[in-house]
Structure 1
Amino acid sequence: MKKRPAKISKTEWQARCELAALYRLIAWYRMTDLIDTHISLRVPGEPEHFLINRYGVTFDQMKASDLVKIDHEGNIVEKYDQGKMVNVAGFVIHSALHHAQDNIHCVIHTHTADGVAVSAQEKGLLPLSQHALKFYNNIAYHEYEGIAFSTDERERLVQDMGNYRCMILRNHGLLATGNSVARAFHEIYFLERACQIQIKAMSSAELHTPSKEVCEYTVKQFESDAAEPIIQAAWHAALSLIRDQRKDYCS
């Protein structure tokens, strides 16, 4: 493992390593779109700054040193990150949510085929699976406005997001947030799986959905305090998949 650069604090380097690992796990689970889409993480102790990917690096090769510290306006904060390219659409979407809510520490945005397919369906995510019931009446929607280059869209993104953790960006993709990397990863994993299941299920002539009462009961189960240890355990289990890469991504 590469020694932490003296110019970067221990807490920031730890955050960089954790975020680099998350990028690689998103690649592991095939949620990438070439060099597009983004994951961001608030810098510990620096509420106005967050880390985002260096544009042009594929997720499976992301390293702690590839990440860029930027402010909510997309400005690169530190000299050691100068020269790294950041996708404008990335900071527009992510900065809006980080700035709006203090408890949003991690934001994941994806363009998977199944996620985009569900985002293009008029009724959005349907209660067809246990995975989907995690989001029963518990997900936001945002209308497509073109590639997110305009900072004017940030206000509408925040308004549509409300207090939900996840959002379906119409005709665009999926978005998940969390107060930790583990929580955000858990949210995007379940949302992506729910979309995969829906697209497969819709090839059937008839669809069966649980009763409203069961749907409401299940989403409460997902939101109970008992879920947090499971979320943490799932994150550490996922990290074990790329354990042999740690020396590389934490460099």
Structure 2
Amino acid sequence: MSVTNVSTMSATTEPATLQLRTEEEPPVQAGAKPFNFSLEKDSASVEEERQHRKETLAAAFRIFAKHGLGMGVVGHLTVRDPGRPDCFWVNPFHVAFSCMRTGDLLLIDHNGEVIDGGASGRRYNQAAFAIHAMIHNKRPDVIAVCHSHSVYGSAFASLGRLPDFITQDSLVFYDDISLYPAFGGVILAEEESIKIAEYLDNRKAVILQNHGLLTVGGSVESATFWFLYLEKVCQMQLLVDATGQKPIPIGVEEAKFTAAQTGTEESGKFHFQPYLQDIDKETGRDYVA
């Protein structure tokens, strides 16, 4: 199998389509009042926080299913346990995203052992441990990780490049997304997962060439929303590419300004709420069981 030599590749985050501003131009929207994306939340005990994370993770699986982001048994979402930060909760190998409940989730330690949750005979996708364990280990700021083989994300990943920053929506990833420019087969070995974590670095998303998308966040809410948004960004990029026309570039300062407003952890958590409200109305929160 031929594998791209990642040591010679660059995880570029600055697309060539961005325009530089002249020194004569005034600052972008100087003095503008920023969005208020704050959400009220009572201080929680470790047990309450654990339950919240598990419920939100189960809801995230339902949301993924509703938006067509699952594919058989591939794809996995994880959340760090608040009481045991070296362990994380993950979906079992054989349960459909659309059927996921809090009681199905498995708690895995740093050795890959299931130490809590799920039913008898419980097991998980080995690739989930290989990828997620390394990221949780390398990024203590990351609470949740989302990865799946979504249609538009996987299609765009086959091009081996980053999306251009040509829409307002895409700017949540401005200077915050990278490309892992290689494919070494289904990920089961630590060596491959180390490379992915290195290319992700301190960003919120990485496109895995010939594979799919991966997003992270300081909460299940933000990591999930970033994935939903990145899937749409990839879809829009494919549609723009299909026109054969050159898109109008966005200025660097405008991109930075917009990213600072919409690309924050608070923004990601806030934007997740309508998806949660929608799935709660549809399911009656039956994922809490």
Give yes or no for TM over 0.5.
Answer: yes
2:188 aligned with 1:161:
no
Rg comparison, structure with higher value = 2
Normalised by the length of structure 2, the TM-score is 0.77
Given candidates 96, 101, 114, the residue that maps to 1:58 is: 96
Given candidates 209, 214, 224, the residue that maps to 1:185 is: 224
Given candidates 171, 174, 191, the residue that maps to 1:136 is: 174
Q: Which amino acid aligns with 2:276?
A: L
Query: If each structure's helix is expressed as a fraction of its own residues, which one has the higher value?
Result: 1
Instruction: Return 5+ residue gaps in structure 2 as ranges.
Output: 1-45
In 2, Cα distance between the equivalents of 1:53 and 1:203?
Answer: 36
Contact 2:103-2:118 at 8 Å conserved across structures: no
Deviates more, 1:129-138 or 1:19-28: 129-138
2:243 aligned with 1:218:
no
Deviates more, 1:164-173 or 1:114-123: 114-123
Question: Judging changes above 3 Å, is the alpha-carbon distance between structure 1 residues 219 and 112 closer, same or farther for their aligned structure 2 residues?
Answer: farther
Name the % identity: 26
Contact 2:58-2:100 at 8 Å conserved across structures: yes
User: What SS does structure 1 have at the residue aligned with 2:107?
Assistant: strand
User: What SS does structure 2 have at the residue aligned with 1:248?
Assistant: coil
Normalised by the length of structure 1, the TM-score is 0.88
List aligned pairs for 1:222-237, cutoff 5 A.
222-224=259-261, 227=264, 229-237=266-274
In 2, Cα distance between the equivalents of 1:186 and 1:121?
Answer: 23
List aligned pairs for 1:68-107, cutoff 5 A.
68-78=106-116, 83-107=121-145
Once superposed, what is the RMSD of the aligned Cα atoms?
Answer: 2.2
Q: Which amino acid aligns with 1:197?
A: M
2:83 aligned with 1:45:
yes
What is the deviation of 1:12?
Answer: 2.7
The count of corresponding residues between Structure 1 and Structure 2 is 242
What is the deviation of 1:44?
Answer: 1.1
In 1, Cα distance between the equivalents of 2:212 and 2:168?
Answer: 21
Instruction: Return 5+ residue gaps in structure 1 as ranges.
Output: 1-7
Matched residue, 2:32: none
Matched residue, 2:156: 118
Deviation sequence 1:83-125 (CA, Å, 0-9, x none): 2110000111111100111110000002112111211114332
Contact 1:69-1:81 at 8 Å conserved across structures: no
Question: Judging changes above 3 Å, is the alpha-carbon distance between structure 1 residues 170 and 59 closer, same or farther for their aligned structure 2 residues?
Answer: same
Given candidates 175, 178, 188, the residue that maps to 1:149 is: 188
Matched residue, 1:4: none
